[in-house]
Structure 1
Amino acid sequence: MASGRNGWVYIGSTSNLHARVWQHKTGTHPDGYSAEHGCVHLVWYEQHQWVVDAIRRERRLKKWMRDWKLKLIEDANPQWLDLAADWYPVNDPNWTPPSEHD
């Protein structure tokens, strides 16, 4: 998650990407790092088969230098597009956000 191109970057892992992105976009956790810095754009992600692998990768990435993180994003998403921009219905009054446990 990022605040914008070359802005603040938040790295985390989750078992439900759609639900977690929704939480970032709607400010469900207003006291967290991503909310404090406006990290509401999904600019990069990777999938892992096993949770332990995802957590290990998250911890490794958090130790990386900022330039390395920016290069990782730029290589996959050079325009820093929000990859979740069309994931959620905008004008559907019957829609409810996904559960993190779904």
Structure 2
Amino acid sequence: MKFWNVYIMSNKPKGVLYIGVTDNLDERVKEHKLKVYPQSFTARYNCDKLVYFDKFENGEAAVKREKQMKRWKRDWKIRIIEGFNPDWVDISLNWKFNYNKLR
């Protein structure tokens, strides 16, 4: 079964926030870390730490949630992150990325 993820990247605790949606979280986080798209928001603001994600079975539901979260006030976003990840650690730190291959 294919899953979709809504995720939040940041540059530091309570720093710049980026909300995205993807059907391949590992690869998408790797793209952010490697700054594959150097002109993108995450590359310009060094948002390379995964601080939150939520899994969905349906892509439409994931996109709907992403759009909803993007409209939230900043303190609501911080609250959801801290409920999931109180220390703002990079959740992907222990993931074993293959940096030699992108998709």
User: What is the TM-score normalised by the length of structure 1?
Assistant: 0.88
Q: Distance in 1 between matches of 2:96 and 2:101?
A: 8
Task: Mark the structure with the bigger radius of gyration.
Answer: 1
Q: Distance in 2 between matches of 1:6 and 1:34?
A: 15
Q: Distance in 2 between matches of 1:35 and 1:79?
A: 23
Q: Which has the higher strand share?
A: 2
Q: Distance in 2 between matches of 1:37 and 1:30?
A: 10
Deviations 1:39-98 (A, max 9, x none): 000000000001000000000000000000000000110000100001135xx8xx6335
**Structure 1 outlier segments of 4+, above 4 Å:** none
Identity %: 35
Paired residues in the alignment total 95
| RMSD over equivalenced CA pairs, Å | 1.4
Q: Distance in 2 between matches of 1:41 and 1:97?
A: 20
Check if 1:67 corresponds to 2:71: no
Structure 2: 5+ residue stretches without partners:
1-8
2:41 maps to: 33
